[in-house]
Amino acid sequence: MTLRPILIHPDPRLKKVCEPVPEVNDEIRKLADDMLATMYDAPGIGLAGPQVGVMKRIFVMDCVKDKEAAPEPMVLINPEISWTSEETNVYEEGCLSIPDQYAEVTRPSEVRMKWLGLDGQSHEEQFDALWATCAQHEFDHLNGKLFIDYLGPMKRKMITRKMEKLKRERARAGATKDPIL
Ligand code: ZN
């Protein structure tokens, strides 16, 4: 397993619609392993292809909150939303591509998704609570949409400026080989 660098907003790759995965092969299995390792390492509860620069319709997630509980890694390939509840939920969301920024986002509280698993088989499941929010957040990534796109323009601009500053600082630290504290 290899940890892959996570793209930070703003990046044109985070704004693009991703291509379907044509077949589940070794390359995709390796990608899924790397994405799960990268997500757990971050740490995060979800990670989508474009966040590691792979413009394919795949995301991983594990929303088990209890640190003592067994992990429940999930890999969703070519996911589709087949149903969403009328009832909504508000969660304070964050994103590995927008570090340390959080904002409340309203989404359907339950969602039903169909996807292709690593076994090459079709799966369908209904998600609720944090799993539903995470699945929709990751699904959005595959269509070039970020959680800040649900916020007002002022808030979105403020967060984007902070990220531009963070990227400049990281680039400078990398260029001078200073340790990143
Ligand atoms: Zn995200």
Tell me the residue ranges of DSSP E strands in the chain. 46-48, 58-61, 74-84, 88-95, 98-108, 111-116, 122-127
- Quote the pLDDT of residue 40: 96
Question: What residue segments make up the domains of the chain, in order of their start?
Answer: 12-175
CA atoms of 181 and 178, how far apart (whole Å): 9
Which tops the pLDDT comparison, 40 or 178? 40
Q: How many beta carbons lie within 10 A of that of residue 26, not counting itself? A: 7
pLDDT at residue 66, as a whole number:
82
pLDDT at 55 (0 to 100): 98
Going across the sheet that includes 58-61, the strands are 46-48, 58-61, 74-84, 111-116, 122-127
pLDDT of residue 65: 83
Alpha carbon of 174 to ligand 1 centroid (Å): 24
Cα of 50 vs centre of ligand 1, distance in Å, is 10
Poorest-confidence range of 39-43, 120-124, 145-149, 169-173? 169-173
47-60: average pLDDT: 98
Torsion of CA 126, 127, 133, 138, to 10 degrees: -70
What percent of the chain stands above pLDDT 90? 91
Topology of the domain covering 12-175? Peptide Deformylase (3.90.45)
* Mean pLDDT, rounded, of the chain: 95
Predicted confidence at residue 181, as pLDDT, reads 53
Indicate which residues carry an active-site annotation: 138
pTM: 0.94
Q: For 70-119, what is each residue's pLDDT tens digit?
A: 999 999 999 999 999 999 999 999 999 999 999 999 999 999 999 999 99
Q: How far is the CA of 119 from the centre of ligand 1 (A)?
A: 25
